[in-house]
Amino acid sequence: MRVRSCFVGLAIVSLGISPATAQDVVPETARRLSFDVAAGVSRYGPHAATGLEYAMNRWLAARTDVYFSLRNWTTFPAASRLTAVSIAAVASAPERLRMTPYLLGGYGISASQGFRPELGPMGGVGLRLRLGRFSPYIETRAQHTVGVPISIGVRF
């Protein structure tokens, strides 16, 4: 009798937990791996970026970016180009509307022409729109030696 009640209790707990965990999984129709391109401006000049994002579930993803910038430093032309690579975690809000805000945070390594690479933290916020297969977005980030650029891009 006691063994049967343990099995019944385990079955009830398992059935109660399964819908909660099933809602956290990325649906089969959603893309797990996405590619994005972006461009924008910062106080240092124009920039372009590209990256890959891997969705682990509906609210958490891992992202890597490559960032290129042409700095408007006429007084110091050796540092006129900047390249940065970053790895970040992306936490998205629930997708209730066509707009989804998100936060990103991680680390990046950046190097100006003529200087040694520097590792530092990065973080930012963004707003993603859903328009069929394309997801336009706008974001800003703060990264060591990169500054605070504002980017407008599209995710495929």
Give the domain extent around 58. 27-155
Asked if the structure places residue 53 within a domain, the reply is: yes
State pTM to two decimals. Answer: 0.74
The CA distances from residue 98 to 18, 101, 131, in Å, are 28, 10, 8
Place of tokens 């089969």: 28
Asked if the structure places residue 71 within a domain, the reply is: yes
- Report the CATH number at residue 43: 2.40.160.20
Asked if the structure places residue 21 within a domain, the reply is: no
Asked if the structure places residue 59 within a domain, the reply is: yes
Asked if the structure places residue 17 within a domain, the reply is: no
Q: pLDDT in tens for each of the 156 residues of the chain?
A: 554 554 445 445 444 444 444 444 444 445 689 999 999 988 778 899 999 999 999 899 999 999 998 776 555 555 578 889 999 999 999 877 789 999 999 999 988 776 788 899 999 999 999 888 889 999 999 987 778 889 999 998
Residue 146 CB neighbours (<10 A): 22
Asked if the structure places residue 50 within a domain, the reply is: yes
Asked if the structure places residue 41 within a domain, the reply is: yes
Q: How far apart are CA 111 and CA 81, in angstroms?
A: 9
Q: How far apart are CA 46 and CA 135, in angstroms?
A: 22
Asked if the structure places residue 107 within a domain, the reply is: yes
Q: How far apart are CA 123 and CA 146, in angstroms?
A: 12
Q: How long a stretch of residues is the chain?
A: 156
Domain count, the chain: 1
